[in-house]
Structure 1
Amino acid sequence: MVVKVGVAKLGNIASGVMVELLLDERADREDMQTFMATSGTKLEVEDVDRVVSNLIAYKPDFAIVVSPNGVLPGPTGAREALKAAGIPVVVITDDVTTKKEWADLKESDFGYIIQKADSMIGARREFLDPTEMSDYNGNLVKVLTVTGAFRKMQIALDAVIDQVKAGKAGADLELPKIVMTADKAVKDEFTNPYAYAKARAAFEIAAAVAMVNVKGCFMTKGFENYVPIVASAHEMMRSAMILCEEAREIEKGCDGVVRMPHKKDGTIVSKTTLISKPE
């Protein structure tokens, strides 16, 4: 059978940039297909409603709702509407564990993947232009990729696809419930301990960026005060990216880069040495 995966992208976080691509990196899988609907940059109710209606019309076997701050009315309404339509939902969002509403989501029957290192951007007009925004997101994608956070997210979603292929549906699906910490992200990703340490440091720095940007965006008045704060957060993310590049180069140097491609039937195979075939 062909598993239908619906993806609702509401606003933007780095996980949303890559989520459906991670499931079919060469666009040759024959066991699944994806359909993505997006609200663009906004999280307004009318934009979210348009996304949900398109996703429901697609009739996916399960849906992924990816957004910043998953407890906001837009993302909350989207997953509730999909649930009401009988579609299982996995929520992918950044870390908002300080909110009571997030505890409610954790206790619900929704699946979730909280990417703690997918930190909010320094969205101050005196600092953030399109180039700065794109540069930040490029650095963040590198961090989430090399540390293993993206791979763990992909494997968790592949596990849901495998359940559908095995005949499970609806409430019978076991959905992921993951808070992506540094330890979970880097597990089994590195053969060299120095590469492992660098990647773990990168994850911790990236996760810390969120609260620096919260301070700069919401808790500090006066551009002369908040611009240096958000600029420092972006420098932190750049430093995290550099650590990831160093970790990756160490792994290349000892011919230990872990590669886990999909076969056409969705099976995940693996290898480490470059000149070899994945098994």
Structure 2
Amino acid sequence: MGKIKVGFAKVGNIGCSPLIEFLLDERAEREDIEVRVFGSGSKMDPESCVWVAEETVKYAPNLVVFTSPNASLPGPSKAREVFQKSNIPTIIVSDNPAKKATRLMEEAGLGYIIVEGDV
């Protein structure tokens, strides 16, 4: 198998957002993965979130990591729909308010990490 492609999709900002992609390759020395980051800055409206999700899917990653505060809001929810339809394994990283959507994430086959310290 060639390089594993990981797409990081970021909308809004939670505390772990600025550095999360460095967890996999902090020194950029790994040759077995390729990382791309797609983001909307602070914007979390549906149009911005869908754009980020679609661009991430176009990259055709093996894994998507989607970071968003309150992933249950309308914009992040639209992005989740894009990732679900793509059938690309996806992990949602969000904060406590996203707990309202964990059942929906599970039903959609999306993984999630709730960062409780990020309040």
CA shift at 1:96, angstroms? 2.0
Letter of the 2:95 counterpart: D
TM-fit CA distance, 1:45: 1.4
Instruction: Provide Cα deviations, 1:8-31, integer angstroms capped at 9, x if missing partner.
Output: 001000111111011111011100
User: Which residue number in structure 2 is paired with residue 112 of structure 1?
Assistant: 112
1:59 aligns with 2:60: yes
Alpha-carbon distance change, 112 to 46 in structure 1, aligned in 2, over 3 angstroms = same
**CA pair 98-38 structure 1, distance change in 2 beyond 3 A:** closer
Task: Give the match for residue 88 of structure 2.
Answer: 87
Paired AA for residue 118 in structure 2: D
Give 1:259's aligned residue.
Answer: none
TM-score calculated relative to the size of structure 2: 0.90
The corresponding residue for 1:45 is 46
User: Does the residue aligned with 1:14 lie in a helix, a strand or coil?
Assistant: coil
Map of 1:76-225 to 2, 5 A cutoff?
Answer: 76-96=77-97, 99=100, 101-119=101-119
TM-score between the two structures when normalised by the length of structure 1: 0.40
Distance apart, 1:98 and its partner CA: 6.1
How many angstroms does 1:51 deviate by?
A: 0.8
Q: Distance in 2 between matches of 1:49 and 1:108?
A: 17
Supply the distance in 2 between the matched residues of 1:98 and 1:86 (Cα, whole angstroms). Answer: 22
| Partner Cα separation in structure 1 for residue 37 and residue 73 of structure 2 | 20
Q: Which amino acid aligns with 2:60?
A: K
One-letter code aligned to 2:112:
Y
Q: Is the 8 A contact 1:65 1:75 kept in 2?
A: no
Separation (CA, whole Å) in 2 of partners of 1:80 and 1:11: 17
Deviations, residues 97-141 of structure 1 (Å, cap 9, x unaligned): 663x3333345421111110011xxxxxxxxxxxxxxxxxxxxxx
Percent sequence identity over matched residues? Answer: 38
Structure of larger gyration radius: 1
Report the equivalent of 2:30.
29
Structure in which a larger fraction of residues adopt strand = 2
What runs of 5+ residues in structure 1 fail to find an aligned partner? 120-279
Change (3 A) 1:118 1:85: same
5 Å-filtered alignment, 1:64-79, equals 64-79=65-80
Q: CA deviation at 1:41?
A: 0.4
Q: Which residue identity is paired with 1:39? A: S
Structure 2 CA distance for aligned equivalents of residues 19 and 92 of structure 1: 10
8 A contact 2:94–2:113 mirrored in 1 = yes
One-letter code aligned to 1:104: L
Residue 77 of structure 1: how far off its partner (Å): 1.2
